[in-house]
């Protein structure tokens, strides 16, 4: 019952922010989710004996997310003459990512002494930028595109359909474990069910949201759907791997009945980059 009540609160909030409020509200929601997810990630790292500079790494996560989100709306400019055209949005993202490396590297030099933990602590500080900030920034960037509201909602629906199909198909037909060392309850049969129904939801939704896709791109909808859904499954397993390695069941107890924020967005973090490429570079020109 607690799980259901939490869902009844969270789902209207997320859907309401995406559908009824301006894009900046989606950015704010993503920043809040990123901050909470980063805190959970840092706690998992600590449980593994890894210490990261929380203030610096956390600021890097929030700044990279906002910069990536802006890649969808900032106009391009020309830098460096006719032969070197660099869109301003991409340049901003480059600067953010390069700054992350430099700042975290400087922090390591200033606070660490030579030893075997230097590399793992520094690497663990950089990972959330790509694991948390870039995928959530991609989601916000989708929202900021023309036709972004239904496009972003489609990904959320696909992940929910896939997760639900995995659960119920696994309960009904599950016989063979998918990854017993990482997530003993997941089954191959459940994964197949999630893959089929999730891909079906992706294809049907894409035809509805992008009705003017040329027939050539229709051929890519099934493999693209498979990639998005499969990436979501891997994202779920990756977060389970982190938790199992840290010896915890949930990333936190923030959401009653659901665990932490990372537990709720783990599939989205891996599916979002692939879906972003599809929406921005393949389907964006065919939004009605």
pLDDT in tens, 154-176: 999 999 999 999 999 999 998 89
**Whole-number pLDDT of residue 51:** 87
Least confident range from 21-30, 34-43, 248-257: namely: 248-257
Q: Which pLDDT score, from 0 to 100, does residue 120 have?
A: 86
pTM: 0.88
The token duo for 268 is 């989205």
* Rounded mean pLDDT, 198-214: 88
Q: What percent of the chain has pLDDT over 70?
A: 87
CB 90 within 8 A of CB 20: no
CA distance 262 to 246: 14
| Residue 224: strand, helix, or coil | helix
Which helix (H) or strand (E) segment holds residue 287: the answer is: none
Q: Where are the domains of the chain?
A: 2-286
pLDDT tens-digit series, residues 42-90: 999 999 999 898 999 999 999 999 988 877 654 433 333 333 333 445 5
Q: How far is CA 161 from CA 173, 205, 239, 247, in A?
A: 17, 12, 19, 29
User: What pLDDT was estimated at residue 74?
Assistant: 44
- Confidence band, pLDDT 50/70/90 cuts, at residue 235: very high
3-state SS class at 83 = coil
| 1: enclosing H helix or E strand | none
Q: Give the residue, 174 or 17, on which the prediction is more confident.
A: 17
**CA 88 to CA 76: how far, in whole Å?**
5
Mean pLDDT of the chain: 85
Lowest mean pLDDT among 95-109, 144-158, 167-181: 95-109
User: Which residues have a Cβ under 8 Å from the Cβ of 233 and sit 6 or more positions away?
Assistant: 162, 166, 191, 194, 195, 267
Q: How far apart are CA 222 and CA 201, in angstroms?
A: 10
Rounded CA-CA distance 126/86 in Å is 25
Average pLDDT of span 12-27: 92
What is the three-class DSSP state of 210? coil
CA distance 130 to 229: 19
**For residue 20, is pLDDT > 60?**
yes
User: Element (H or E) spanning 44, and its range?
Assistant: helix 23-47
- The structure tokens 């389907």 sit at 283
């Amino acid at each position: 019952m607690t799980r259901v009540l939490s869902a009844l609160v969270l789902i209207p909030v997320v859907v309401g922010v995406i559908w009824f409020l301006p894009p900046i509200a989606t950015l704010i929601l993503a920043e809040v989710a990123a901050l909470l997810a980063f805190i959970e990630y840092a706690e998992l790292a600590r449980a593994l004996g890894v210490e990261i500079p929380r203030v610096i790494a956390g600021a890097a996560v929030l700044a990279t997310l906002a910069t990536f989100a802006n890649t969808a709306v900032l106009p391009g400019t020309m830098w460096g003459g006719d032969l070197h055209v660099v869109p301003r949005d991409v340049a901003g993202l480059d600067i953010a990512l390069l700054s992350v490396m430099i700042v975290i590297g400087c922090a390591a030099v200033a606070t660490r002494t030579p030893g075997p933990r230097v590399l793992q602590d520094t690497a663990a500080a950089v990972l959330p930028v790509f694991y948390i900030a870039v995928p959530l920034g991609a989601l916000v960037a989708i929202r900021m595109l023309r036709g972004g509201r239904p496009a972003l909602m489609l990904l959320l629906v696909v992940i929910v359909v896939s997760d639900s199909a995995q659960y119920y198909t696994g309960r009904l037909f599950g016989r063979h474990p998918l990854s017993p060392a990482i997530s003993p309850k997941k089954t191959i049969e459940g994964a197949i069910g999630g893959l089929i129904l999730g891909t079906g939801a992706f294809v049907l939704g894409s035809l509805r949201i992008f009705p003017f896709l040329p027939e050539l791109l229709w051929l890519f909808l099934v493999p693209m759907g498979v990639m998005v859904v499969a990436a979501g499954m891997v994202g779920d397993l990756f977060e389970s791997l982190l938790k199992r390695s840290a010896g915890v069941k949930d990333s936190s107890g923030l959401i009653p009945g659901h665990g932490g924020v990372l537990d709720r967005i783990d599939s989205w973090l891996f599916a979002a980059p692939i879906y972003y490429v599809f929406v921005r570079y393949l389907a964006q020109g065919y939004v009605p």
